[in-house]
A and B are shown apart, each in its own frame.
Chain A
Amino acid sequence: MTILVIAEHDNKVLAPATLNTVAAAAKIGGDIHVLVAGQGAGAVAEAAAKVAGVSKVLVADNAAYAHQLPENVAPLVAELGAGYSHILAAATSNGKNILPRVAAQLDVDQISEIISVESADTFKRPIYAGNAIATVQSNASVKVITVRATGFDPVAAEGGSAAVEAVAAAHDAGTSSFVGEELAKSDRPELTAAKIVVSGGRGMQNGDNFKHLYALADKLGASVGASRAAVDAGFVPNDMQVGQTGKIVAPQLYIAVGISGAIQHLAGMKDSKVIVAINKDEEAPIFQVADYGLVADLFEAVPELEKLV
Protein backbone atom coordinates (compact mmCIF):
# COMPACT_ATOMS: atom_id res chain seq x y z
CA MET A 1 0.00 0.00 0.00
CA THR A 2 1.22 3.46 -0.88
CA ILE A 3 -0.73 6.54 0.11
CA LEU A 4 -0.69 9.91 -1.63
CA VAL A 5 -1.23 12.92 0.63
CA ILE A 6 -2.04 16.25 -1.03
CA ALA A 7 -0.04 19.04 0.65
CA GLU A 8 -2.02 22.07 1.82
CA HIS A 9 0.01 25.23 1.24
CA ASP A 10 0.14 28.76 -0.19
CA ASN A 11 3.33 28.23 -2.25
CA LYS A 12 5.35 29.52 0.73
CA VAL A 13 4.39 27.59 3.85
CA LEU A 14 3.23 24.02 4.40
CA ALA A 15 -0.05 24.32 6.35
CA PRO A 16 -0.24 22.45 9.69
CA ALA A 17 -3.36 20.55 8.52
CA THR A 18 -1.02 18.52 6.29
CA LEU A 19 0.57 17.06 9.44
CA ASN A 20 -2.80 15.79 10.67
CA THR A 21 -3.47 14.31 7.22
CA VAL A 22 -0.11 12.49 7.26
CA ALA A 23 -1.07 11.21 10.73
CA ALA A 24 -4.25 9.68 9.26
CA ALA A 25 -2.15 8.12 6.47
CA ALA A 26 0.21 6.64 9.07
CA LYS A 27 -2.80 5.05 10.84
CA ILE A 28 -3.82 3.41 7.54
CA GLY A 29 -0.25 2.13 7.16
CA GLY A 30 2.10 1.83 4.20
CA ASP A 31 4.42 4.16 2.34
CA ILE A 32 3.46 7.83 2.41
CA HIS A 33 4.12 10.17 -0.52
CA VAL A 34 3.23 13.87 -0.48
CA LEU A 35 2.25 15.84 -3.58
CA VAL A 36 3.09 19.55 -3.66
CA ALA A 37 1.26 21.12 -6.61
CA GLY A 38 1.91 24.82 -6.95
CA GLN A 39 4.17 27.43 -8.42
CA GLY A 40 7.57 28.27 -6.95
CA ALA A 41 6.75 26.13 -3.94
CA GLY A 42 10.29 24.85 -3.31
CA ALA A 43 10.23 25.79 0.36
CA VAL A 44 7.00 23.83 0.81
CA ALA A 45 8.54 20.74 -0.79
CA GLU A 46 11.56 21.06 1.51
CA ALA A 47 9.29 21.31 4.55
CA ALA A 48 7.24 18.31 3.35
CA ALA A 49 10.42 16.24 2.95
CA LYS A 50 11.17 16.77 6.66
CA VAL A 51 7.78 15.59 7.89
CA ALA A 52 8.06 12.43 9.97
CA GLY A 53 6.97 9.31 8.11
CA VAL A 54 7.02 10.72 4.57
CA SER A 55 9.14 8.69 2.14
CA LYS A 56 8.79 10.71 -1.06
CA VAL A 57 7.72 14.22 -2.08
CA LEU A 58 6.39 14.83 -5.60
CA VAL A 59 6.58 18.41 -6.85
CA ALA A 60 4.42 19.62 -9.73
CA ASP A 61 5.58 23.17 -10.41
CA ASN A 62 3.50 24.98 -12.98
CA ALA A 63 1.72 28.34 -13.37
CA ALA A 64 -1.54 26.39 -13.87
CA TYR A 65 -1.30 25.16 -10.26
CA ALA A 66 -0.40 28.51 -8.68
CA HIS A 67 -3.87 29.15 -7.22
CA GLN A 68 -4.99 25.55 -6.72
CA LEU A 69 -7.67 25.85 -9.41
CA PRO A 70 -9.48 22.48 -9.22
CA GLU A 71 -9.98 22.34 -13.01
CA ASN A 72 -6.19 22.01 -13.32
CA VAL A 73 -5.11 20.36 -10.07
CA ALA A 74 -7.76 17.58 -10.01
CA PRO A 75 -6.62 16.02 -13.34
CA LEU A 76 -3.04 16.06 -12.03
CA VAL A 77 -4.02 14.33 -8.78
CA ALA A 78 -6.22 11.83 -10.65
CA GLU A 79 -3.38 11.00 -13.07
CA LEU A 80 -0.75 10.57 -10.35
CA GLY A 81 -3.12 9.10 -7.78
CA ALA A 82 -4.51 6.29 -9.95
CA GLY A 83 -1.58 4.07 -8.94
CA TYR A 84 -2.01 4.61 -5.20
CA SER A 85 -4.14 2.71 -2.68
CA HIS A 86 -5.41 5.93 -1.03
CA ILE A 87 -5.49 9.63 -1.83
CA LEU A 88 -5.84 11.86 1.25
CA ALA A 89 -6.33 15.61 1.62
CA ALA A 90 -7.14 17.81 4.59
CA ALA A 91 -10.82 18.78 4.82
CA THR A 92 -9.94 22.46 4.35
CA SER A 93 -11.82 24.65 1.88
CA ASN A 94 -9.11 23.73 -0.63
CA GLY A 95 -9.21 19.98 0.00
CA LYS A 96 -13.00 20.00 -0.15
CA ASN A 97 -12.87 21.89 -3.44
CA ILE A 98 -10.43 19.58 -5.21
CA LEU A 99 -10.86 16.05 -3.90
CA PRO A 100 -14.46 15.27 -4.97
CA ARG A 101 -13.43 16.31 -8.47
CA VAL A 102 -10.58 13.78 -8.28
CA ALA A 103 -12.90 11.04 -6.99
CA ALA A 104 -15.39 11.55 -9.82
CA GLN A 105 -12.58 11.47 -12.38
CA LEU A 106 -11.46 8.14 -10.92
CA ASP A 107 -15.11 6.94 -10.82
CA VAL A 108 -15.07 6.20 -7.08
CA ASP A 109 -17.14 7.49 -4.16
CA GLN A 110 -15.33 9.81 -1.79
CA ILE A 111 -15.39 9.51 1.98
CA SER A 112 -15.62 13.00 3.47
CA GLU A 113 -14.14 14.29 6.73
CA ILE A 114 -13.05 11.08 8.42
CA ILE A 115 -12.41 11.33 12.17
CA SER A 116 -10.91 7.87 12.64
CA VAL A 117 -9.29 5.00 10.76
CA GLU A 118 -10.77 1.61 11.70
CA SER A 119 -8.75 -0.33 9.10
CA ALA A 120 -7.26 0.30 5.66
CA ASP A 121 -10.74 0.34 4.09
CA THR A 122 -13.04 1.37 6.96
CA PHE A 123 -13.42 4.84 8.46
CA LYS A 124 -15.67 6.84 10.79
CA ARG A 125 -17.21 10.15 9.80
CA PRO A 126 -19.78 12.44 11.39
CA ILE A 127 -23.11 13.00 9.62
CA TYR A 128 -26.14 15.17 10.55
CA ALA A 129 -23.97 17.92 12.07
CA GLY A 130 -22.20 15.40 14.25
CA ASN A 131 -25.43 13.99 15.70
CA ALA A 132 -24.53 10.58 14.27
CA ILE A 133 -21.26 8.87 13.44
CA ALA A 134 -21.24 6.61 10.36
CA THR A 135 -18.75 3.80 9.87
CA VAL A 136 -18.12 3.58 6.13
CA GLN A 137 -16.30 0.86 4.23
CA SER A 138 -14.90 1.38 0.74
CA ASN A 139 -14.08 -1.25 -1.87
CA ALA A 140 -12.77 1.32 -4.35
CA SER A 141 -9.43 0.51 -6.01
CA VAL A 142 -8.24 3.96 -4.95
CA LYS A 143 -9.81 5.27 -1.76
CA VAL A 144 -10.34 9.03 -1.93
CA ILE A 145 -10.68 10.60 1.51
CA THR A 146 -10.73 14.01 3.18
CA VAL A 147 -9.44 14.14 6.74
CA ARG A 148 -10.85 16.26 9.57
CA ALA A 149 -7.78 17.64 11.32
CA THR A 150 -9.30 17.51 14.81
CA GLY A 151 -9.59 13.71 14.56
CA PHE A 152 -5.84 13.13 14.32
CA ASP A 153 -2.90 14.45 16.36
CA PRO A 154 -0.32 15.94 13.99
CA VAL A 155 2.90 14.04 13.20
CA ALA A 156 6.21 15.80 13.88
CA ALA A 157 7.13 18.46 11.33
CA GLU A 158 10.80 17.47 11.62
CA GLY A 159 12.69 14.22 11.59
CA GLY A 160 12.03 12.84 8.11
CA SER A 161 14.31 13.00 5.09
CA ALA A 162 12.23 12.11 2.05
CA ALA A 163 13.46 12.20 -1.53
CA VAL A 164 12.09 15.10 -3.59
CA GLU A 165 11.08 14.33 -7.18
CA ALA A 166 9.75 16.66 -9.88
CA VAL A 167 6.74 15.53 -11.90
CA ALA A 168 6.33 16.88 -15.41
CA ALA A 169 2.57 16.48 -15.83
CA ALA A 170 1.00 19.84 -16.72
CA HIS A 171 -2.77 20.20 -16.94
CA ASP A 172 -4.35 23.48 -17.95
CA ALA A 173 -8.03 22.98 -18.65
CA GLY A 174 -8.50 26.60 -19.72
CA THR A 175 -11.99 26.75 -18.20
CA SER A 176 -11.14 28.88 -15.17
CA SER A 177 -8.87 31.69 -14.10
CA PHE A 178 -7.88 33.30 -10.83
CA VAL A 179 -9.10 36.90 -10.43
CA GLY A 180 -8.02 37.84 -6.91
CA GLU A 181 -8.28 37.16 -3.22
CA GLU A 182 -8.80 39.00 0.01
CA LEU A 183 -7.14 37.26 2.91
CA ALA A 184 -7.76 38.26 6.48
CA LYS A 185 -4.57 39.40 8.21
CA SER A 186 -4.18 38.49 11.82
CA ASP A 187 -1.34 38.19 14.29
CA ARG A 188 -3.33 35.72 16.33
CA PRO A 189 -2.91 31.97 15.87
CA GLU A 190 -4.88 30.30 13.10
CA LEU A 191 -8.36 29.31 14.32
CA THR A 192 -8.08 25.60 13.54
CA ALA A 193 -4.59 25.31 15.06
CA ALA A 194 -5.00 27.44 18.21
CA LYS A 195 -4.76 25.88 21.69
CA ILE A 196 -7.34 28.32 23.01
CA VAL A 197 -10.30 29.79 21.10
CA VAL A 198 -12.52 32.62 22.33
CA SER A 199 -15.74 32.90 20.30
CA GLY A 200 -18.44 35.54 20.27
CA GLY A 201 -22.06 35.31 19.19
CA ARG A 202 -25.04 37.55 18.62
CA GLY A 203 -24.83 38.56 22.28
CA MET A 204 -21.79 40.70 21.37
CA GLN A 205 -24.28 43.16 19.78
CA ASN A 206 -21.83 44.68 17.29
CA GLY A 207 -18.41 44.36 15.70
CA ASP A 208 -16.83 47.01 17.88
CA ASN A 209 -17.60 45.02 21.03
CA PHE A 210 -15.43 42.19 19.73
CA LYS A 211 -12.52 44.30 21.04
CA HIS A 212 -13.25 42.81 24.47
CA LEU A 213 -12.71 39.32 23.03
CA TYR A 214 -9.55 40.36 21.17
CA ALA A 215 -8.10 41.76 24.40
CA LEU A 216 -8.88 38.54 26.27
CA ALA A 217 -7.55 36.43 23.41
CA ASP A 218 -4.29 38.34 23.24
CA LYS A 219 -3.70 37.77 26.93
CA LEU A 220 -4.33 34.04 26.52
CA GLY A 221 -2.49 33.66 23.19
CA ALA A 222 -5.83 32.60 21.76
CA SER A 223 -7.57 32.82 18.42
CA VAL A 224 -10.99 34.45 18.01
CA GLY A 225 -14.00 32.73 16.43
CA ALA A 226 -17.69 33.53 16.03
CA SER A 227 -21.13 32.04 15.57
CA ARG A 228 -22.92 32.30 12.26
CA ALA A 229 -25.30 34.86 13.73
CA ALA A 230 -22.33 37.15 14.49
CA VAL A 231 -20.94 36.68 10.98
CA ASP A 232 -24.30 37.15 9.26
CA ALA A 233 -24.88 40.35 11.23
CA GLY A 234 -21.58 41.64 9.86
CA PHE A 235 -19.79 41.85 13.25
CA VAL A 236 -16.81 39.86 11.94
CA PRO A 237 -15.66 38.27 8.63
CA ASN A 238 -16.84 34.85 7.44
CA ASP A 239 -13.53 33.06 7.95
CA MET A 240 -14.13 33.33 11.72
CA GLN A 241 -17.29 31.18 11.66
CA VAL A 242 -17.16 28.04 13.76
CA GLY A 243 -19.68 25.27 13.09
CA GLN A 244 -21.18 22.66 10.79
CA THR A 245 -20.75 24.95 7.83
CA GLY A 246 -17.80 26.93 9.14
CA LYS A 247 -14.57 25.78 10.73
CA ILE A 248 -14.22 22.73 12.93
CA VAL A 249 -12.08 23.38 15.99
CA ALA A 250 -11.05 21.23 18.95
CA PRO A 251 -8.73 23.34 21.11
CA GLN A 252 -7.66 22.66 24.69
CA LEU A 253 -9.99 25.44 25.79
CA TYR A 254 -13.03 26.92 24.01
CA ILE A 255 -14.70 29.96 25.55
CA ALA A 256 -18.17 30.66 24.09
CA VAL A 257 -19.36 34.19 24.83
CA GLY A 258 -22.94 35.26 24.07
CA ILE A 259 -23.54 32.11 22.03
CA SER A 260 -26.75 30.13 22.60
CA GLY A 261 -25.40 26.73 21.48
CA ALA A 262 -27.38 25.78 18.35
CA ILE A 263 -26.57 22.26 17.07
CA GLN A 264 -24.90 23.76 13.99
CA HIS A 265 -22.53 25.68 16.24
CA LEU A 266 -21.89 22.74 18.58
CA ALA A 267 -20.95 20.63 15.53
CA GLY A 268 -17.88 22.81 15.12
CA MET A 269 -16.57 22.88 18.70
CA LYS A 270 -17.98 20.11 20.87
CA ASP A 271 -14.80 18.04 20.66
CA SER A 272 -12.86 20.77 22.47
CA LYS A 273 -11.15 19.48 25.61
CA VAL A 274 -12.59 22.07 27.99
CA ILE A 275 -15.60 24.24 27.16
CA VAL A 276 -16.49 27.44 29.01
CA ALA A 277 -19.78 29.23 28.37
CA ILE A 278 -20.60 32.77 29.39
CA ASN A 279 -24.25 33.58 28.82
CA LYS A 280 -26.84 35.63 30.69
CA ASP A 281 -29.59 33.08 30.00
CA GLU A 282 -29.18 30.13 32.36
CA GLU A 283 -31.38 28.00 30.07
CA ALA A 284 -29.09 28.47 27.06
CA PRO A 285 -28.33 25.05 25.48
CA ILE A 286 -24.60 25.83 25.42
CA PHE A 287 -24.55 25.06 29.17
CA GLN A 288 -25.44 21.43 28.36
CA VAL A 289 -22.01 20.90 26.82
CA ALA A 290 -19.99 23.33 28.93
CA ASP A 291 -17.57 22.06 31.58
CA TYR A 292 -17.74 25.45 33.29
CA GLY A 293 -20.75 27.68 32.86
CA LEU A 294 -20.99 31.25 34.05
CA VAL A 295 -24.42 32.89 34.04
CA ALA A 296 -23.50 36.55 33.71
CA ASP A 297 -23.63 39.63 31.54
CA LEU A 298 -20.74 39.26 29.15
CA PHE A 299 -19.99 42.98 29.20
CA GLU A 300 -19.10 42.65 32.89
CA ALA A 301 -17.65 39.13 32.87
CA VAL A 302 -15.28 39.38 29.89
CA PRO A 303 -13.35 42.49 31.02
CA GLU A 304 -13.06 40.99 34.50
CA LEU A 305 -11.83 37.69 33.06
CA GLU A 306 -9.27 39.58 31.00
CA LYS A 307 -7.94 41.21 34.17
CA LEU A 308 -7.71 37.96 36.16
CA VAL A 309 -5.99 35.65 33.66
Chain B
Amino acid sequence: MKVLVAVKRVVDYNVKVRVKADNSGVDLANVKMSMNPFCEIAVEEAVRLKEKGVATEIVVVSIGPATAQEQLRTALALGADRAILVESAEELTSLAVAKLLKAVVDKEQPQLVILGKQAIDSDNNQTGQMLAALTGYGQGTFASKVEVSGDSVAVTREIDGGAQTVSLKLPAIVTTDLRLNEPRYASLPNIMKAKKKPLESLTPEALGVSTASTNKTVKVEAPAARSAGIKVKSVAELVEKLKNEAKVI
Protein backbone atom coordinates (compact mmCIF):
# COMPACT_ATOMS: atom_id res chain seq x y z
CA MET B 1 0.00 0.00 0.00
CA LYS B 2 1.28 3.42 -0.93
CA VAL B 3 0.97 6.22 1.66
CA LEU B 4 1.11 9.91 0.77
CA VAL B 5 2.03 12.36 3.55
CA ALA B 6 1.61 16.13 3.25
CA VAL B 7 4.10 18.24 5.20
CA LYS B 8 4.14 21.98 5.63
CA ARG B 9 7.03 24.33 6.32
CA VAL B 10 6.02 26.67 9.13
CA VAL B 11 7.52 28.93 11.77
CA ASP B 12 9.03 26.78 14.51
CA TYR B 13 6.59 26.37 17.38
CA ASN B 14 9.02 27.97 19.84
CA VAL B 15 9.11 31.25 17.94
CA LYS B 16 6.91 34.06 19.18
CA VAL B 17 6.02 35.83 15.97
CA ARG B 18 5.72 39.59 15.58
CA VAL B 19 3.34 41.47 13.37
CA LYS B 20 4.98 43.70 10.72
CA ALA B 21 4.77 47.44 11.26
CA ASP B 22 2.77 47.92 8.03
CA ASN B 23 0.21 45.29 9.16
CA SER B 24 0.71 43.26 5.98
CA GLY B 25 1.50 40.05 7.84
CA VAL B 26 3.90 38.61 10.37
CA ASP B 27 7.65 39.10 10.18
CA LEU B 28 9.18 35.85 8.96
CA ALA B 29 12.62 37.24 8.09
CA ASN B 30 15.38 35.32 9.89
CA VAL B 31 13.05 33.25 12.06
CA LYS B 32 13.57 29.53 12.49
CA MET B 33 11.38 27.42 10.19
CA SER B 34 10.49 23.77 10.85
CA MET B 35 8.14 21.03 9.83
CA ASN B 36 4.65 21.64 11.25
CA PRO B 37 4.47 19.47 14.44
CA PHE B 38 1.30 17.72 13.30
CA CYS B 39 3.02 16.84 10.00
CA GLU B 40 5.91 15.25 11.94
CA ILE B 41 3.30 13.05 13.58
CA ALA B 42 1.88 12.23 10.13
CA VAL B 43 5.31 11.18 8.84
CA GLU B 44 5.91 9.09 11.96
CA GLU B 45 2.60 7.28 11.53
CA ALA B 46 3.43 6.44 7.91
CA VAL B 47 6.87 5.15 8.92
CA ARG B 48 5.30 2.95 11.60
CA LEU B 49 2.87 1.56 9.02
CA LYS B 50 5.83 0.71 6.84
CA GLU B 51 7.68 -0.93 9.73
CA LYS B 52 4.58 -3.06 10.37
CA GLY B 53 4.59 -4.14 6.73
CA VAL B 54 1.28 -2.38 6.01
CA ALA B 55 2.76 0.42 3.88
CA THR B 56 5.14 -0.41 1.05
CA GLU B 57 6.06 3.08 -0.08
CA ILE B 58 5.91 6.51 1.57
CA VAL B 59 5.75 9.59 -0.63
CA VAL B 60 5.96 13.01 1.06
CA VAL B 61 4.69 16.15 -0.59
CA SER B 62 5.01 19.79 0.32
CA ILE B 63 3.61 22.86 -1.33
CA GLY B 64 5.59 25.99 -0.78
CA PRO B 65 8.81 27.85 -1.59
CA ALA B 66 12.00 26.10 -2.75
CA THR B 67 13.23 26.15 0.86
CA ALA B 68 10.48 23.63 1.78
CA GLN B 69 12.99 21.09 0.41
CA GLU B 70 14.55 21.21 3.90
CA GLN B 71 11.38 19.83 5.47
CA LEU B 72 11.06 17.23 2.70
CA ARG B 73 14.65 16.10 3.34
CA THR B 74 13.81 15.82 7.05
CA ALA B 75 10.84 13.60 6.18
CA LEU B 76 13.09 11.49 3.95
CA ALA B 77 15.55 11.15 6.83
CA LEU B 78 12.71 9.99 9.07
CA GLY B 79 11.88 7.18 6.66
CA ALA B 80 9.92 8.45 3.65
CA ASP B 81 11.04 6.97 0.31
CA ARG B 82 10.67 9.89 -2.06
CA ALA B 83 9.50 13.47 -2.09
CA ILE B 84 7.54 15.87 -4.26
CA LEU B 85 7.76 19.63 -4.01
CA VAL B 86 5.04 21.67 -5.64
CA GLU B 87 6.80 24.98 -5.85
CA SER B 88 4.82 28.11 -5.21
CA ALA B 89 6.18 31.35 -3.86
CA GLU B 90 2.77 32.84 -3.05
CA GLU B 91 0.78 32.21 0.11
CA LEU B 92 -1.88 29.67 -0.85
CA THR B 93 -5.19 29.09 0.87
CA SER B 94 -6.15 25.67 2.22
CA LEU B 95 -8.47 25.13 -0.77
CA ALA B 96 -5.64 25.83 -3.23
CA VAL B 97 -3.36 23.47 -1.27
CA ALA B 98 -6.09 20.81 -1.28
CA LYS B 99 -6.55 21.17 -5.06
CA LEU B 100 -2.80 20.72 -5.60
CA LEU B 101 -2.78 17.70 -3.28
CA LYS B 102 -5.74 16.26 -5.24
CA ALA B 103 -3.67 16.53 -8.45
CA VAL B 104 -0.83 14.68 -6.69
CA VAL B 105 -3.27 12.02 -5.45
CA ASP B 106 -4.53 11.51 -9.02
CA LYS B 107 -0.95 11.02 -10.17
CA GLU B 108 0.27 8.83 -7.30
CA GLN B 109 -2.91 6.87 -6.45
CA PRO B 110 -2.10 6.32 -2.74
CA GLN B 111 -4.38 4.17 -0.58
CA LEU B 112 -3.94 6.42 2.43
CA VAL B 113 -3.17 10.14 2.68
CA ILE B 114 -2.00 11.42 6.08
CA LEU B 115 -1.96 15.14 6.92
CA GLY B 116 -1.61 17.19 10.09
CA LYS B 117 -4.91 18.33 11.58
CA GLN B 118 -3.81 21.95 11.63
CA ALA B 119 -0.86 24.04 10.59
CA ILE B 120 0.37 26.08 13.56
CA ASP B 121 0.87 29.24 11.49
CA SER B 122 -2.54 29.84 9.95
CA ASP B 123 -4.36 27.48 12.38
CA ASN B 124 -6.92 26.75 9.65
CA ASN B 125 -7.66 23.08 10.25
CA GLN B 126 -9.12 22.68 6.74
CA THR B 127 -6.79 21.05 4.25
CA GLY B 128 -7.43 17.34 4.99
CA GLN B 129 -11.20 17.76 5.03
CA MET B 130 -11.06 19.71 1.76
CA LEU B 131 -8.88 17.06 0.12
CA ALA B 132 -11.41 14.45 1.26
CA ALA B 133 -14.22 16.43 -0.39
CA LEU B 134 -12.29 16.81 -3.66
CA THR B 135 -11.31 13.14 -3.86
CA GLY B 136 -14.64 11.87 -2.50
CA TYR B 137 -12.75 9.75 0.06
CA GLY B 138 -13.76 9.17 3.67
CA GLN B 139 -12.01 11.31 6.30
CA GLY B 140 -10.71 10.42 9.76
CA THR B 141 -9.75 13.76 11.28
CA PHE B 142 -7.97 14.46 14.62
CA ALA B 143 -6.77 10.85 14.79
CA SER B 144 -5.38 9.36 17.99
CA LYS B 145 -5.27 5.79 16.61
CA VAL B 146 -5.09 4.41 13.06
CA GLU B 147 -5.55 0.72 12.26
CA VAL B 148 -5.50 -0.56 8.70
CA SER B 149 -7.10 -3.93 8.06
CA GLY B 150 -7.87 -5.27 4.60
CA ASP B 151 -9.58 -2.64 2.50
CA SER B 152 -10.56 -0.37 5.37
CA VAL B 153 -9.03 1.73 8.12
CA ALA B 154 -10.39 2.25 11.64
CA VAL B 155 -9.64 5.72 12.96
CA THR B 156 -10.14 6.80 16.59
CA ARG B 157 -10.73 10.54 16.68
CA GLU B 158 -10.31 13.08 19.50
CA ILE B 159 -13.64 14.88 19.75
CA ASP B 160 -14.96 17.49 22.20
CA GLY B 161 -16.66 15.01 24.51
CA GLY B 162 -14.06 12.21 24.35
CA ALA B 163 -13.20 9.80 21.54
CA GLN B 164 -15.05 8.44 18.51
CA THR B 165 -14.10 5.55 16.22
CA VAL B 166 -15.09 5.43 12.56
CA SER B 167 -14.33 2.90 9.85
CA LEU B 168 -13.39 4.22 6.41
CA LYS B 169 -13.12 2.43 3.09
CA LEU B 170 -9.69 2.77 1.49
CA PRO B 171 -8.50 4.97 -0.09
CA ALA B 172 -9.02 7.41 2.77
CA ILE B 173 -7.75 10.64 4.32
CA VAL B 174 -6.43 10.83 7.90
CA THR B 175 -5.42 13.96 9.82
CA THR B 176 -3.27 13.59 12.93
CA ASP B 177 -3.87 14.80 16.46
CA LEU B 178 -1.15 15.27 19.08
CA ARG B 179 -1.44 11.92 20.78
CA LEU B 180 -1.32 9.64 17.73
CA ASN B 181 2.37 8.93 18.32
CA GLU B 182 5.64 10.47 19.45
CA PRO B 183 7.79 11.30 16.45
CA ARG B 184 11.36 9.98 16.41
CA TYR B 185 14.46 12.03 15.68
CA ALA B 186 16.38 11.52 12.46
CA SER B 187 19.76 9.84 12.95
CA LEU B 188 22.86 11.26 11.33
CA PRO B 189 23.36 8.29 8.93
CA ASN B 190 19.72 8.63 7.87
CA ILE B 191 20.14 12.36 7.29
CA MET B 192 23.08 11.55 5.00
CA LYS B 193 21.11 8.85 3.18
CA ALA B 194 18.16 11.19 2.72
CA LYS B 195 20.30 13.48 0.58
CA LYS B 196 20.38 10.79 -2.10
CA LYS B 197 16.67 9.96 -2.07
CA PRO B 198 14.64 11.25 -5.05
CA LEU B 199 12.99 14.69 -4.81
CA GLU B 200 10.84 15.77 -7.73
CA SER B 201 9.83 19.39 -8.34
CA LEU B 202 6.49 20.31 -9.89
CA THR B 203 4.54 23.53 -10.37
CA PRO B 204 0.83 24.32 -10.02
CA GLU B 205 0.81 25.08 -13.78
CA ALA B 206 2.27 21.66 -14.62
CA LEU B 207 -0.44 20.07 -12.47
CA GLY B 208 -3.07 22.18 -14.23
CA VAL B 209 -4.39 23.66 -10.98
CA SER B 210 -5.60 27.23 -10.52
CA THR B 211 -4.75 28.61 -7.09
CA ALA B 212 -7.08 31.61 -7.27
CA SER B 213 -8.67 32.49 -3.94
CA THR B 214 -11.96 33.93 -2.70
CA ASN B 215 -10.26 35.19 0.47
CA LYS B 216 -8.12 38.25 0.88
CA THR B 217 -6.15 39.19 3.98
CA VAL B 218 -6.91 42.86 4.58
CA LYS B 219 -4.53 43.33 7.49
CA VAL B 220 -2.76 41.52 10.30
CA GLU B 221 -2.54 43.12 13.73
CA ALA B 222 -1.08 42.31 17.10
CA PRO B 223 -3.68 41.08 19.58
CA ALA B 224 -4.78 43.33 22.42
CA ALA B 225 -2.06 42.93 25.01
CA ARG B 226 -2.95 41.63 28.42
CA SER B 227 -0.92 43.28 31.12
CA ALA B 228 0.36 41.48 34.15
CA GLY B 229 -1.62 42.13 37.30
CA ILE B 230 -0.40 41.88 40.85
CA LYS B 231 1.16 39.22 43.02
CA VAL B 232 -0.83 38.37 46.14
CA LYS B 233 0.98 37.27 49.28
CA SER B 234 -1.40 34.66 50.58
CA VAL B 235 -4.39 32.52 49.75
CA ALA B 236 -6.49 34.69 52.06
CA GLU B 237 -5.54 37.82 50.12
CA LEU B 238 -6.34 36.05 46.84
CA VAL B 239 -9.81 35.10 48.05
CA GLU B 240 -10.41 38.64 49.32
CA LYS B 241 -9.42 40.12 45.90
CA LEU B 242 -11.55 37.66 43.96
CA LYS B 243 -14.56 38.44 46.14
CA ASN B 244 -14.29 42.18 46.58
CA GLU B 245 -12.17 43.55 43.74
CA ALA B 246 -12.79 41.24 40.77
CA LYS B 247 -16.20 40.11 42.09
CA VAL B 248 -15.98 36.77 40.28
CA ILE B 249 -16.68 34.42 43.18
Contacts and interface: CB of A to CB of B under 8 A. Distances in A.
Contacts of B19: 132
A244 B132 CA distance: 24
Interface stretch (A57-65, A79-87, A287-295): A287-295
Contact of B166 (A177, A182, A293, A309): A177
Q: Which of B17, B94, B95, B121 has the most CB of A within 10 A?
A: B95
A50 B71 CA distance: 52
Interface in A247-302: 247, 252-253, 263-264, 270, 273-276, 282, 287-296, 301
Contact of B123 (A129, A274, A276): A129
A107 B159 CA distance: 26
A293 B231 contact: yes
Contacts of A94: 159-160
A142 B98 CA distance: 19
How would you classify the secondary structure of chain A's contact residues: helix, strand, loop or mixed? mixed
Contact of B160 (A93, A103, A232): A93
Nearest to B223: A133
Interface in B163-180: 163-169, 172, 177-179
A109 B94 contact: yes
A92 interface: yes
A156 B206 CA distance: 53
Interface in A89-135: 92-94, 96-105, 107-113, 122, 126-135
B52 interface: no
Contact of A273 (B13, B118, B177, B248): B248
Contact size range, B: 35 or more
B144 A238 contact: yes
A61 B143 CA distance: 28
A242 to B, nearest CB: 12
A181 B123 contact: no
Contacts of B231: 282, 287, 292-295
A192 to B, nearest CB: 8
Interface in B137-194: 137-139, 141-142, 144, 154, 157-169, 172, 177-179
A33 interface: no
B130 interface: yes
Interface stretch (A67-75, A162-170, A202-210): A67-75
B239 A305 contact: yes
B246 interface: yes
Contacts of B217: 134-137
B230 interface: yes
Given A131-B17, A309-B239, A291 B246 contact: yes
A67 B11 CA distance: 36
Contacts of B138: 71, 173, 175-176
Given A93-B142, A305-B235, A179 B16 contact: no
B108 interface: no
B42 to A, nearest CB: 14
B248 A132 contact: no
B125 A100 contact: yes
A205 to B, nearest CB: 20
A139 B158 CA distance: 33
Interface string A206-245: 0000000000000010000000100110000111000011
A101 B17 contact: no
A138 to B, nearest CB: 5
Contacts of A70: 129, 132, 139, 141
A101 B229 contact: no
Given A71-B138, A292-B241, A104 B158 contact: no
B107 interface: no
A69 B166 contact: yes
Nearest to B132: A101
A293 B232 contact: yes
A302 B26 CA distance: 40
Given A127-B220, A274-B242, A100 B160 contact: no
A293 B230 contact: yes
A287 B162 contact: no
Interface in B17-43: 17, 19, 26
Nearest to B158: A238
B75 to A, nearest CB: 21
A140 interface: yes
Nearest to A305: B235
Interface of A: 67, 69-71, 74, 92-94, 96-105, 107-113, 122, 126-140, 173-184, 192, 196, 220, 228, 231-232, 237-239, 244-245, 247, 252-253, 263-264, 270, 273-276, 282, 287-296, 301, 304-305, 308-309
Chain A to chain B: the 10 pairs with minimum beta-carbon distance, closest first? A291-B229, A100-B129, A104-B133, A104-B130, A140-B214, A100-B126, A175-B138, A176-B138, A179-B165, A253-B248
Interface of B: 11, 13, 16-17, 19, 26, 93-95, 98, 117-118, 120-134, 136-139, 141-142, 144, 154, 157-169, 172, 177-179, 213-223, 226, 228-232, 234-236, 238-239, 241-242, 246, 248-249
Given A100-B126, A181-B162, 9 more contacts: A96-B141, A100-B130, A104-B131, A110-B95, A176-B167, A178-B165, A232-B179, A239-B162, A309-B239
